[in-house]
Amino acid sequence: MPKRILEGVVVSDKGDKTVVVKVERTIVHPLLKKIVRRSKKYHAHDEANVYKTGETIRIVECAPKSKLKTWEALPKASA
């Protein structure tokens, strides 16, 4: 099974080698049939502490690194 890749915004970079990423997704409400936004926060491992609050980031599933961290930050795309 392939590893999932999610894209979101960094909401916190206070932890050492850790970032908190808010991932938003849209769903159709089952009763109202309207599009609704849902969000979830993930703790991701950032080995070099390169990501700062407000940046867009891509994260990938990995083996558990701590109690909360089961995601890793992908390297920044060079522009």
Nearest 5°: phi and psi at 47? -55, -45
CATH number of residue 20's parent domain: 2.40.50.140
Can you give the residue range of the structural domain that contains 52?
3-58+65-71
Is 39 within the bounds of a domain? yes
Residue 23 lies in a domain: yes
Residue 77 has pLDDT above 80, yes or no: no
CA dihedral 27, 21, 59, 49 (to 10 degrees): 170
| Domain tally, the chain | 1
Residue 38 lies in a domain: yes
Query: What is the rounded distance in angstroms from the CA atom of residue 68 to the CA atom of residue 38?
Result: 20
Write out pLDDT tens, residues 2-46. Answer: 899 999 999 999 999 999 999 999 999 999 999 999 999 999 999
